[in-house]
Amino acid sequence: MRLIYAYNADNYFTKIIEQNLDELTGEYPAVVFGTTTPRPAYDFNLEIPKFVNDAWVLEDLKETGVFYLKTDATEFAEIVKKDANIYTEIEPLQKYDDGTTQAFNDVTQTWEYTFKGADLLEAERVEALNASKQNKIAQLETDFNAAKKITVQNGKTLIVKHNTPERDEFLQLMENVSNLSSKQGAAFIYEQQTNTGKLALRILPEIATYIFKDLFVATLNNPQQTKVNSRVHNKTTVYELALEKINDAATQAELDNVTWTFLNPAGILIDVNDKAAEMLADPAVSQFAKDAINAAKDPITNEIHLIKTLAELAADS
């Protein structure tokens, strides 16, 4: 004798059948809707076995009707029977749209309400909006600082970050050099500490003035004098306008619509070798500066290297 675990056309378990060998053939009769694989134990009030892919699985029984989640009165038309204790069929008094919360008390079998009201709801909305504004302003600052970053690319890369003492020193030094009455003076050195050590930029005034000329504009009173371009150093119209729109946003939707695009999102890139090539082709550049550029060229790569470690700089002296 063997046991057959029968199921219907939908593969749901129906009953257990005892099956004996056929006296004539000595074999068990063929099984159509059944299996010899034992079904698992189950709670027939909550589950039903189903034979799927040559194995039994327990499927949750469901119940239809009108049910309310006890924690917040969310309405459901169908629930899983085994989760029935987290629902009730007792209807809440009413639905609120002013932030009032409701929960079901199993002891008293009644709904309890925590009334919030429009004023408190508005206060919470404003608080959440202000928090979103601070996040938006932080992102604006991050993007602005990235757009104002100065990257000097020259074999080694020197990054002068925005809103740092190093940047103020760098720009002031370059401005002083660009305003020298004579550009054929001795080379000067700018040093900056990095995560991998200190880097130094050693450069002649005339070369520096040419390479970094995009950072400066002529003053109105004296075209021979230059100053730091406000687009390089100061808050820009893009920044100010975005900040104003963020602060003026009255709703989250208005705040989400505030966007900005800076002229140089990745910052200001200065490729020393590109600028050096321009200088060599510029008839206005002195032969003194051109000779200095050619003398600084790497004999193998034909590139000039102005950014070096202190050890490399000492070795060149």
Q: State which H helix or E strand residue 217 sits in.
A: strand 216-218
- Whether the CB-CB separation of 185 and 196 falls below 8 Å is answered with no
The pLDDT value recorded for residue 234 is 55
d(CA 280, CA 167) in angstroms, rounded, equals: 28
The pLDDT value recorded for residue 310 is 79
Our count of domains for the chain comes to 3
The pLDDT value recorded for residue 77 is 95
d(CA 9, CA 254) in angstroms, rounded, equals: 57
Q: Is residue 239 part of a domain?
A: yes
pLDDT tens-place string over residues 52-104: 999 999 999 999 999 999 988 889 999 999 999 999 999 887 766 666 778 89
Write the single-letter amino acid at 94.
Q
Q: Is residue 126 part of a domain?
A: no
Q: Is residue 208 domain-shared with residue 67, that is, in the same domain?
A: no
Q: Is residue 79 domain-shared with residue 51, that is, in the same domain?
A: no
The pLDDT value recorded for residue 224 is 47
Q: Is residue 187 domain-shared with residue 273, that is, in the same domain?
A: yes
Radius of gyration of the chain (CA): 39
Q: Is residue 11 part of a domain?
A: yes
For the chain, list residues with pLDDT below 50: 218-226
Q: Is residue 75 domain-shared with residue 44, that is, in the same domain?
A: no
Q: Is residue 158 domain-shared with residue 56, that is, in the same domain?
A: no
The pLDDT value recorded for residue 221 is 42
Q: Is residue 255 domain-shared with residue 168, that is, in the same domain?
A: yes
Strands 156-160 and 268-271: unpaired
Instruction: Write out the residue range of the structural domain in which residue 229 sits.
Output: 143-316
Q: Is residue 244 part of a domain?
A: yes
